[in-house]
Structure 1
């Protein structure tokens, strides 16, 4: 009884090892077939890499625009310009009063001296400002609502209330441009999704057509394998692994193209950010996104190969 169990365990282990060895052999031989026709494989992989990199690049553009909006503070904010003659104590008292409201999250007081120093630093009119007899800038209170996602329509009641406060000459809400910017961002996200779907279909068709041509070129070989009793799964296996390699190498080429593009744009983007005194840094491809792209590329490669093999394999039968 023990001998039979040992024999069964040995046979099971041997069968598993043989199965893994056959798959490893086909796995490497399919890569060898791509290497034996370098020009055709390189052209196909280049098309795949470009097709995969286009939606990926647009996705990274949207992410960088969102980061840029975050650096600019995408939440609603209201600037209160106080009347001339308001003292610093009165401005501080108004600030303390506004902080007690539950719909206001934070209030920042910018004195005329601070505003003038900032204007002098960034405007380049330092010599002209020295000719002024007095500081014409008023006290300013920057009000941040408690709800950072407050939209223009919902911020209007708060804006009207702040305009009615004693000592306030002008109240401005600088949210409209942020909403427009976020609207453009959402449109780009939708375009990236549609482009990804269309180019995923294109990748499927490219790999499927490439595998179809491979099947046609090996038609005689397939007929012989079927003639000696080879199963459809046995015949299908190398083509599926070939689709795997096309997907994997195409995804790797796409990530390489995106990395090179990010590297080429990083310097100009940083220079532009420095001109606007921004701490924005151009973001590249992170490992999670790269792994997701490679996984999707492999799945598309296998799906394209499976579709082509399933469609054409049943039409090939040994001739009498």
Structure 2
């Protein structure tokens, strides 16, 4: 497999204003020729652009306002890049959304938003950009997902289902493009925290990983051409163990998680019997 066209290339990052997208932009800035940073509101990206240009004055930084859940806006975004002769070498799909609620109590608007952001958006952007990469014989697609794909998560039914889509989608694409110069990788982190954020009791849980370290491990695995990247040693071992567990045991673990969920977290009506949570809200990572 040819090396990824990161050095002196053009990388398009969806959801670059915060989280893993922002950390990847910081890591890539010293290596790429151009960063195309996309968010619903371009002004949210201005502080990041100023930060990057202060350290790398010759870096090309393009800010784009785009609701990637709107196909017309996606087409307009890509048409604008083509008009300005911007060729995307690497696509970072980082638009995922998560929520926590019993499915029967969930607002349909939130369900639809998750389906669009976590399934429809990576499918559409990949469909638009993969063919030109294959024609050039060089490119990369980095899908940012979640370890929830491996779990049975009551209270997060839609989120975990969308992550299973991204898992299967990435694996199938890898085989379709094998030997054609394009790398396709899925990153599946666990709970993440941001530097400077407050932590309960002042102690960071064992499996929590910083956004910066998650981005570093994601990029390293991507450049090695790995199919799946599980950032963090503890999280990685758990994710490798889970496929070996019988489904019955996974259901038991899911029931235990459900009993830990609070009424407030799941937005249950007052007359409903109290149910017990997933230890953490699904990360849209």
TM-score (norm 1): 0.21
The structure that is strand-richer by fraction is 2
The structure that is helix-richer by fraction is 1
Q: Which has the larger radius of gyration?
A: 1
TM-score (norm 2): 0.22
Instruction: Select the structure with the greater relative contact order (CA < 8 A; seq sep ≥ 6).
Output: 1
